[in-house]
Amino acid sequence: MDREVIDQVRTERQRLIKKRESLLGSFSKAAVTGRSKRLSELFVKICQTNEFLKSLNQIGSKEKELVSGHRRYAVSSLFLHESFTKLTVDRDEEFFFITGNEIDGVFVLDQWAEFSHQKRSLVGVTADTRSTHKLLIKLEQFGHKLLAHFHSHPGNGPDSTNPSGIDENFQRRLEAAGHVAVMAIFSRDGFVRFVRLDQNLEIEIYGEGVERHAPGIFRLANLNQA
């Protein structure tokens, strides 16, 4: 989709908004006069217009992504610090999903979506398949997307956040299925690496307490004070 198509979507959205305003005005007048048949006709047209607008808004939410060429993600520094605490509560690896809102084409990572684990150890974690499937179904029922998966690695420093072969295979399956999810790997000393194998990624951090170390890699500051 190019700029011309995006402009066409915007124009059509504006036209439908004006049409809906006109229909609502006519609906109010018909309600006053008690014309039930006219009310029914207008109600159907208003519903149809709302459905068209909903479809266009879904396309419109991708506009910034299409213009920039990157999927855009946003996360607060506080949420990253709290996630680090949960991921490093003991010596074993920890793993959970993240969901959140989509605002103006930006995926906001702001809610943990946790599930049961089959096994956790110092060097790996295995999710319970039934529990993850149940969680994904729940997200679907509530109209939420799987936006990210966070997990911890043993070791310190940015190099310890490099994805393993298992990590890459899981992310590859998600991307092949069309998921927008980004992977985030946390070290034991507060480095965080965000990864998408297709490189379609732009991360924005809101708030203080997180320092940019390298492209896609951040360091949580003042951990002893958190």
pLDDT in tens, the chain (226 residues): 445 555 676 778 778 888 888 887 787 777 767 677 777 787 788 888 888 777 766 665 555 444 445 789 999 999 999 999 999 998 888 899 999 999 888 999 999 987 766 556 655 666 567 777 788 788 888 888 999 999 999 999 999 999 999 999 999 988 888 889 999 999 999 999 999 999 889 999 999 999 999 999 999 998 864 4
Residues 56 and 82 occupy one common structural domain:
no
Last residue of a domain, one of 16, 41, 60: 60
Residues 202 and 114 occupy one common structural domain:
yes
Q: What burial class does residue 102 get, using C-beta atoms within 10 Å of its C-beta: 0-12 exposed, 13-18 middle, 19+ buried?
A: middle
As a whole number of angstroms, the distance between CA 141 and CA 60 comes to 23
CATH number for the domain spanning 216: value is 3.40.140.10
Range of the domain at 18: 3-60
Residues 189 and 110 occupy one common structural domain:
yes
* Residue 221 resides in a domain: yes
Largest CA distance in the chain: 74
Secondary structure class of 58 (helix, strand, coil): helix
Place of tokens 């008690």: 34
Per-residue confidence (pLDDT) for residue 157, from 0 to 100: 96
Residues 75 and 47 occupy one common structural domain:
no
Secondary structure class of 145 (helix, strand, coil): coil
As a whole number of angstroms, the distance between CA 6 and CA 183 comes to 29
Residues 102 and 25 occupy one common structural domain:
no
Three-state secondary structure readout of 70-82: CCEEEEEHHHHHH
* Residue 65 resides in a domain: no
Helix 36-60 crosses helix 3-33 at what angle (to 10 degrees)?
160
Query: Model-level pTM?
Result: 0.67
As a whole number of angstroms, the distance between CA 35 and CA 45 comes to 16
Strand partners, 109: 75, 100
Q: How many C-beta neighbours within 10 Å does residue 87 have?
A: 22
